[in-house]
Structure 1
Amino acid sequence: MSFASTDQPAPSAPDSEPQAAPVPSPGSGAHDPGAYRHDLDGLRGIAIALVVAFHIWFGRVSGGVDVFLVLSGFFFTGMLVRRSDSGVVGVPATIRRTLRRLLPAMVVVLAAVVIAAVLLLPHTRWSDIAAQTLASLFYYQNWYLALSWSDYLAADPSVSPLQHLWSMSVQGQCYLGMLLIIATVAWLCRRGPALRRFTPVRGVLASDPMRALLRSGFGRRMVRTSRQNVLRIGLAVIFTAIAVASFCYAAEGVSTQQGWNYYDTFARAWEPLTGALLALAAPMVKLPKLMREMLGWAGIAAIIACGWLVNGSSVFPGPYALIPVLATVALILAGAGLATAGQPLVNRLLASSPMVGLGGFAYALYLWHWPILIFYLGERHSREAGAVGGLIIILVSFVLAYLTHRFVEEPLRLRSTPTVPAAPARARMLIGVAVSTVGVLLLGSTVAWQWSMGAKAHAVGELDPAKYPGAAALADGALVPRAPMRPTIEEAPADVAYPTRDSCIADFDTRSVVTCTYGDANAHRTIAVVGNSHAEHWIPALQIVAEKYRFKISVYLKMGCPLTVAEEPMYKGQQNPDCKDWSHDVIERLGAERPDYVFTTGTRPADNGGDEIPQDYLDVWHELADRGLQVLAMRDTPWLRRNGIRYRAIDCLASGGNRVECGMKRPDALSAVNPALAASDDFPNVHVLDLNNAVCEPTVCAVVEGNILIYHDEHHLTASYSRSLAPELERQLRPILGWW
């Protein structure tokens, strides 16, 4: 977000932008929407303090970002409308000024993050950092995260240090949209007389509905009103329509696709548009003193309490986001049109020097605090900063934010004011050249790295079983000669199961059932592979067996969605309603198509170590039994975790760890006895499979066996290792299927 105070016209407004009119005296009754609002600078200070504290200590969304979205819409719209009153809006100039205000500090932080990533993170993490750096520079980070459905609250070393910049992208996109709308409406207002001469416009004006409107009292008032008021009325109508549509869309998204909804620009648009509508209505606001006091105190109380009242990551920007949004509106209205001395007490407190000072470098503080938090947690291999660690993070963030604000932001955007002298022209030029150079180097290096890594990442073909026995080293005691590991750590991310490669697995935002066929497509016997990616990663092994013994594999797969009948399926702590509807359709299709066997996962990792079989899995077994379907329940393979934090094998290996050090103790990964065994006693239709003795050694689950890397990420088998499991899978399926 832009937390910079120059969103509102100020004594230090950028470039040659017209200065705001003086604040009217408390008794004048005048309402000047352009008056400088020190109390809203203070509100920025409160909001950034909440954002930082909740990120570091509480692991919750505070609502501070929503506050900033409303403020940015309020100030940006007010500035553009005032500019349109004195002439053209100036789209190129506005974009240039806005980027000069926002980009320099971001470039500095991005460069620092890239340097820290090179120094502190394994090179296997650099590709994602590079991709998110580009996404942040070009303001599409929110879409990058939406596509991967990242968990914003999962503040641990596996999270990107740039993930918080999604909000900057949302704000930049909203700025551009509002700018184009305001500029277009302003142009139409200026061209009104000429436009009325066009045949289509004349036809509209001559129509019976328009004539009736123009003859009405409202129409006559509109004809008499000034061009500026016509502009405001037109913008109010457009912004209201878009805001209502955005709010309805966001409300629907909470219950259907919240992972996407959280980052979706259109779902967020109603928040800055609320501020924009308030800017348009500000000249008409006249409230009694008591109401202002009530609004001020209610607003600040709601903002402070918001993070405790609701779990924002699960419900924002839906209706619950009205809490921080309306609270911000209340505080804006409480002090509207009044000098600081005449404002309600809470607004005067917000206008105090400490709060205004904090708000002054809120933007830089927002940019710095998250990457510092993530790198700190990464170095300590912890999920929590703790009291002392949190204070250290805040102190370092404050120092860096102040330096960035003082020596980068201010010299590049401010002219002289009574309190802040402008930097000399030479200094401004040197800082500008330095930041631009850093930006160019940053862009070039990230693009080059992405290109080089893209060339190295590819799926591995068939490996020589003599050199690469893989699972046979554990299951059959095969000899393991000296050979380089395959896939390599560069190849691994692309060595994925076939349905992902073939787009035969529904993603998080795909509600429809996607199916594909593997094995022998003409066979009369069928195994349906059903569930999420942990059912999917057995496809390479099943493919080999199916081709050998001539049976068909039909896949019904969806990311993050094991087959479920739960009322409120969850994924990464968020509701996943598509999973319920998808599962219902799949179960019905299985009942109608009647495959010979349904292959799915039968266990999952337990939070306190080992593995378990959740009740939801048993409920699914009941549903399949009711339809007379036979089930192959595969025990899940280990998920790489330390202290509850997931990690990638390739990251550990790239950091110098070996196959055992990067693995897990077997008791931490798997319970002593397969938990699905006892549960299956009540289900004659369920047949339990367990291949973990071909994945783990007796005491340790390493990440490489038989010269083949087992995982391509934190917990999914590489296609290469899955293929090496085919002989063991064949042995366990033989007595169950009886097909060979």
Structure 2
Amino acid sequence: MKLDYRPDIDGLRAMAVAIVILFHFGVPGFPGGFIGVDIFFVISGYLITRLLIAEEGGLSLPEFYGRRIRRILPAMLVMICFSLMAGWYLLLPGDYAGLGRSAAYSALGLGNYYFLWNTGYFDRDATLLPLLHLWSLGVEEQFYLAWPILLVSATRLARGRRLPIAALICTVALASFSIALHLVAIDAKQAFYVPFSRAWELALGGLLVFVPPISRRGTSEAFGLIGICLVAGSAVWLSPSQPFPGLSALVPVTGAVLLIWPRSQSMVSALLASAVLRSTGKISYSLYLWHWPILVFFRHYAGTAMPTAVESSVLIATAWLAAYLSWRFVEEPARRWRAPPPRALIAGATAALLVCLSGNAIFEAGGFTNRISKEVEAMRSLDMMWDWPCPRTVSIAELGGTFCAFGAPWDRAAHHAMLWGDSHAEHLAPLFDAVGKRENTAFFLYRGCPAAFGEDVHRSFPGLPNYRETCASSREVAVTMLGQRKDIDLVALSSAWTALLNTDVTSDDGRQADKLVLLRDGLRSLVKEISTPNRRIGIIGQVPGPGLDLTSCAVMRESGMIRHCSTEMDSERILQIWSPMVTALGSLAEDNSVFFVNPLKGMCPGGHCATYVNGEFIYRDGSHLRRNLRPETDDAIARMMGLYAALDASQGQARVSAADAEQAQAATRSDLAGSQMAKPHPDSDRLGLAEQRCRVAH
């Protein structure tokens, strides 16, 4: 079989990398641009299988691996080295340490596993990781290790017969697709990253080597048009919120298969083989390598904000230039290097090992904290900013476990309280610790689902298929415990209330009510279940958050590094977004003998939300407070929020007067003078695994 050059495949590469770039830069109309990675997988499967089958008996495994090393490693390692140098100037020590570790994994072809294990709710937002896009190269490199051995062994056993080899490829594809469907249902994140759930895409590309070419012009035209429509339609209609790579991945993969299927000339193949697409396709690998770190480092420089249209145009042009230079001076010379396979393998392994060791040294050095000033060293990493040693633990037998306790000592406190909620309850623990000590109240943290969920109101969470059952169970055991423990005379409910309006909230009875109404109803039913004559119940409103991570900007500016960013949040937008939920929670409190703490009242005086208190930048990310603030800062924020006043005013009484509730609402309305009611902004919070599941398509 002669390995004829197919210019239309270069054109398809150009199409794939283009939709990926449009998706990454947030160009409207391409929410499914991440499917470019699937197109590349199909192309790789086809070309690699064609190479192995065409040169059967003449291409040894060392020679194959030598070719792959010359094709992949040089350009990738150069880009990684550039990223490590850029990270020195643009990243916080914690982020730089993470970059070093991701570089070490990626240099060894294991980037997909690094990002599988290190992208989560409390990790750096995946879209701000400079080497995140290398996960797909990890999948391909792992495929390249196993596929040639399997294919060459099968070829020898089949003694030149093609049907058994094709049957083997079909078996691999079916097994992998079954794994993908299973993992998407139980662990969508793992399904996205691991090679076992991606191999079917590469295998289908390989299967095309064994199918007969399309000889009829009409069939060729039809397949080409259908393929283009399937790929384009996927880029337009799919979205990151859909489970992937499950059944929805069949659409772009089928489109890619139809476009790659060997055929006679057609209008679509002629279009893909046009000079513009063909030239872009030739540099598509380097373009893919460079566009993502250029975008991410710019966002770090600009305080994590996405670039404007003009900035995006400049960045894309810069990426194209970097890609051309990489192709011209790195890719092409490496391809033309005719070293014996052993020498290519040794050189590639040595270079990869050096980059791996360099990245690991950065990680072991903690990202070199001496790059920032001592005054902001407490903000050097996300882990550091979330670090807050739990003062003590308490065993709650009715809940079947031990929990973090804070405030007054549990065994000597006059009052016992439960702080119930998600991470937005957890970040308030240091504040409640300060308040509890003064008010002689001991708290324990019940960390789990927002208290509004679990009875008749639920939230669909694609990243956690059992989320509904988990929330129902956690609510049931908590309600049962509160029914038995009369000594717990205070329950404070906290969550990212406003951000929940961006999620899929439903009810058991199928009501098509507004999400705000459903959340209020869920809280109202809970309040009725846990109310007792001597128990006070409070709802803690969501702390205003900037929506964007301003921490890096604050650290770098205070360390004297020039940044094109601001540490001020968009207070007007925040107040407008928070207004509907503040009003709903205030009315719920007024109608149900519940006290309501509205953080906006004190943290956004005069319509301006503070980001610094006592000279300390108070946010860990776009929505959470830092938990390693100085005690006096925690105390000041607690007073600003009104926690002291709420707990003190409610001591010894079971309800807050309607006048107090109205006063809280009036203060909020005063802050919102002139603002219109608005639906939540999509950037108002970062809500967990499903929302930040990486759709960095390659």
In the alignment, which residue of structure 1 is the partner of 2:104?
A: 134
Q: 1:654 to 1:675 in 2, by over 3 A?
A: farther
In the other structure, the counterpart of 1:564 is 453
Distance in 1 between the 2:500 and 2:443 partners?
A: 36
Contact 2:32 2:240 in 1 (8 A): yes
Q: Which of these residues, 540, 544, 560, is aligned with residue 638 of structure 1?
A: 544
State the Cα distance separating 1:378 from its structure 2 match: 5.0
Aligned pair in 2 of structure 1 residues 82, 617: CA closer, same or farther (>3 Å)? same
Residue 662 (structure 1) aligned to one of 567, 576, 583 = 567
* 3-state SS of 2:596 partner: strand
Tell me: CA distance 1:690–1:567, structure 2 relative to 1, closer, same or farther (3 Å): closer
1:733 has 2:630 as partner: no
Please show how residues 93-492 of structure 1 align to structure 2 within 5 Å.
93-121=63-91, 125-149=95-119, 159-182=128-151, 185=154, 189=157, 226=159, 228-229=161-162, 232=165, 235-236=168-169, 238-252=171-185, 257-279=187-209, 281-282=210-211, 284=212, 288-312=216-240, 314-333=242-261, 335=263, 342-379=264-301, 383-414=305-336, 442-453=355-366, 485=375, 488-490=378-380
1:687 partner letter: F
Deviation string for 1:310-346 (max 9, x for gaps)?
22553431211111100111122252xxxxxx43332
- Which residue in the other structure is 1:589 paired with? 477
- The corresponding residue for 1:553 is 444
- 1:111-135 Cα offsets, whole Å, 9 max, x none, are 2223333344555642333233233
Preserved contact between residue 567 and residue 580 of structure 1 (Cα < 8 Å) = no
> Which residue number in structure 1 is paired with residue 689 of structure 2?
none
Inter-partner Cα distance in structure 2 for 1:287 and 1:142:
40
Name the % identity: 24
**Residue ranges of structure 1 left out of the alignment (5+ in a row):** 1-20, 23-33, 190-224, 336-341, 416-421, 458-482, 505-511
Give the TM-score normalised by structure 2.
0.72
Counterpart-to-counterpart distance in 2, 1:312 and 1:375: 23
Following superposition, the deviation at residue 107 of structure 1 comes to: 1.4
CA distance 1:181–1:439, change in 2 (3 Å): closer
- SS of residue in 2 equivalent to 1:719: coil
1:705 corresponds in structure 2 to: 613
Equivalent residue, structure 2, for 1:623: 525
Q: Which residue of 1 aligns with 2:31?
A: 60
The answer for unaligned runs of 5 or more in structure 2 is 502-514, 655-698
Matched residue of 1:516: which SS?
A: strand
**8 Å contact kept, 2:524–2:588:** no
- What one-letter code is carried by the residue in structure 1 that aligns with 2:468? K
| 1:534 CA drift (Å) | 1.0
Secondary structure of the residue aligned to 2:261 is helix
Q: 2:629 aligns to what? A: 721
**Deviation, structure 1 residue 294:** 0.9
Which structure would you say has the larger Rg? 1
Please report how far the alpha carbon of residue 366 of structure 1 lies from its aligned counterpart in structure 2 after TM superposition. Answer: 0.8
- Asked whether the 8 Å contact 1:89–1:186 carries over to 2, the reply is no
Contact kept, 8 Å, 1:52 with 1:369, in 2: the verdict is yes
Corresponding residue for residue 9 of structure 1 = none
AA aligned to 2:647 is L
Secondary structure of 1:453's counterpart equals coil
Aligned residue number for residue 18 of structure 2: 49
Contact residue 108 and residue 353 of structure 2 kept, 8 A: no
Trace 1:507-586 onto structure 2 (pairs within 5 A): 516-519=403-406, 527-543=417-433, 549=440, 551=442, 553-557=444-448, 563-564=452-453, 569=459, 577-586=465-474
1:303 Cα offset (Å): 1.7
State the shift of 1:106 in Å.
0.9
Q: After superposition, give the CA deviation of every residue in 1:622-664 in whole Å (9 maximum; x if it has no partner).
A: 231242346321123232346x988664455445699x97354
Deviations along 1:200-223, whole A, 9 cap, x unmatched? xxxxxxxxxxxxxxxxxxxxxxxx
1:600 and 2:528 are equivalent in the alignment: no
- 2-structure distance, mates of 1:113, 1:584: 45
Whether contact under 8 Å (1:631, 1:687) holds in the other structure is yes
- Kindly state the Cα deviation for residue 684 of structure 1 after the two structures are TM-superposed: 1.8
Shift of residue 186, structure 1, vs aligned partner: 5.6
> After superposition, what is the alpha-carbon deviation per residue over 1:647-703, rounded to whole angstroms, capped at 9, x for unaligned?
664455445699x97354766655798546632345425322356778677775555
Could you tell me how far 1:180 is from its partner in structure 2?
A: 4.6
**CA 1:700–1:360 in structure 2 vs 1: closer, same or farther (change >3 Å)?**
same
- Asked if 2 retains the 8 angstrom alpha-carbon contact of 1:541 and 1:722, the reply is no
Bigger mean CA offset, 37-46 vs 663-672: 663-672
Report the CA distance between 1:411 and its aligned residue: 1.1
Contact 2:419-2:492 at 8 Å conserved across structures:
yes
Give the number of equivalent residue pairs.
603
For the residue of structure 2 that corresponds to 1:721, the secondary structure is coil
The one-character-per-residue Cα deviations of 1:403-429 (angstroms, maximum 9, x if unpaired) are 1111111111236xxxxxx8xx8xxx9
Q: Judge conservation of contact 2:13–2:284 (CA < 8 Å) in 1.
A: yes
**Structure 1 residue 272 displacement after superposition:** 1.6
The more displaced of 312-321 and 687-696 is 687-696
**Deviation sequence 1:514-562 (CA, Å, 0-9, x none):** 973425676897533332211111223445666784746152326xx67
